Amino acid sequence: MQELHTQTLTQLAAGMQRGDFSSVELIEVLLGRIESLDQSLNAFITVTADAALAAAARADDARAAGDAGVLNGLPVVHKDIFCTKGVTTTCGSRMLENFVSPYDATIVERLAAAGAVVLGKTNMDEFAMGSSSETSYFGPVRNPWDRERSPGGSSGGSAAAVAARLAPAATGTDTGGSIRQPAALTGTVGMKPTYGRVSRYGMVAFASSLDQAGVITRSTEDAALLLGVMAGFDQRDSTSIDRPVPDYVASLAKSLKGLRIGIVRQHFDAGLEEKTAAAVRESLAVLEAQGAILTEVDLPNLDLSVPTYYVVAPAECSSNMSRFDGVRFGHRAKDPEDLFDLYCRSRGEGFGAEVKRRIMTGTYVLSAGYYDAYYLKAQRVRQLIAQDFNKAFAEVDIIAGPTSPTPAFRLGDKTDDPITMYLNDIYTIGANLAGLPAISTPCGFVDGLPVGLHLVGPHFGEETVLRCAHQYQQQTDWHEACPEGYQ
């Protein structure tokens, strides 16, 4: 029998259904791997071993009684930005180092109701602000393909855990590429659904009009399985959209014959590393061989996506971070002289450098005299970018390109230059600004490091995006590659 830690979520579900192993046996294997391997990766902030074993035992009892859910006994890990009742939710920050949530996020509830077993909470850039998982108060996450390199961010802990076979699946959040970029850099599958498709209730906010919950898995089939459980209307989330959730898994088998794929002209510019471009073009040829029709599309305002994002996102960050004032919850400065001192020192001690940088930027662009010049103008450009996508989707079904301009970069290489770090999300930000579904799937290697193919669909086009990625995986085995030392 294939070793348990090497199996995908779908394979594990089938094995448990056959009675090859129990959920408790599976969880014990993975907890053992976390204990022995995570010290070198720092992918986890919290491991909930006792709770996981208890949940696995309940799952085994439910299966024996014929009352098993869709994910019964299957292990997942949550990015430490989702509130989990009775467990710390730190957001990778000193500000929430000791915060224990009194309630579960909606997606935590839904996965638990389907029978999933939570192994723990994963490390991340502080409050999801970063593209390298180096801004965490709990130390940087390391890429299992090369531990001297970044796994990407901000969902780097989730991506590293899945890539290293410490867990078969993980949740993540994507504000400007924070699921898809780490998926590309770690050789995993990262799916961001349409804005509003998955509830944001219980997900600590960074930039509310951009944040979206999603998944990181080892196969597209697993991503479809999890998304089907997580998606759906939630009356507790004002941004949640009341729309039926299709059977994402059932739609995967449909042929790609006649699928119109648009290749973004702006993506293959001077900023894209040549070897990465070659790998992506080879993957597009695989899709074309399956009957897809390739054509070039123009997104003329896409070059403005990074500056637009870094006005809109910090502005919303400034508003959302104001709740952390040392009064109600989170870090509180000792012996404040007055209210002003309490605010200043609590935030100064609790927030890291990148969070402070974005708060200051956001406060500036929202201030009197600058609102029209920066924030209002950025929102207008955001609409132009969304219109470019809409025009393109009138001609094609999917938009394709690279996920990241380069493979994984070395830890520390970009920390002193925030602008260079920000440009790492240049190909992914557009989907967030327009609220579109997108996926990154492994499509090759450059100098021994994974490369990702990025697929974007129209609003609520998750079925098509997942199908395209799945059919690509049926013809390739890049998504099955495992980093040395983690087999």
Active site residues: 79, 154, 178
Instruction: Judge contact between 80 and 153, C-beta under 8 A.
Output: no
Phi/psi at 249 (nearest 5 deg)? -65, -40
Q: What is the largest CA-CA distance in the chain?
A: 70
SS3 32: helix
Residue among 51, 43, 39 nearest 75 (CA): 51
Instruction: Judge contact between 84 and 108, C-beta under 8 A.
Output: yes
Pull the structure tokens for residue 206.
Answer: 């960074």
Burial bucket for residue 247 (CB in 10 Å: 0-12, 13-18, 19+): exposed
Angstrom distance (rounded) from CA 34 to CA 49:
10
Q: Which CA distances in Å does 393 have to 388, 389, 466?
A: 9, 6, 17
Tell me the sheet residues that pair with 263.
Answer: 296, 400
SS3 62: helix
Residue among 79, 71, 74 nearest 52 (CA): 74
Instruction: Judge contact between 164 and 144, C-beta under 8 A.
Output: yes
Pull the structure tokens for residue 454.
Answer: 């990025």
Instruction: Judge contact between 153 and 436, C-beta under 8 A.
Output: no
Round to the nearest angstrom and report the end-to-end CA distance of the chain: 15
Q: How far is CA 345 from the centre of its chain?
A: 32
Angstrom distance (rounded) from CA 443 to CA 475:
11
Pull the structure tokens for residue 44.
Answer: 């986890």
Angstrom distance (rounded) from CA 53 to CA 270:
51
Phi/psi at 355 (nearest 5 deg)? -65, -45
Instruction: Judge contact between 181 and 163, C-beta under 8 A.
Output: no
Tell me the sheet residues that pair with 122.
Answer: 44, 79
Q: What angle do CA 118, 52, 125 make, to 5 degrees?
A: 40
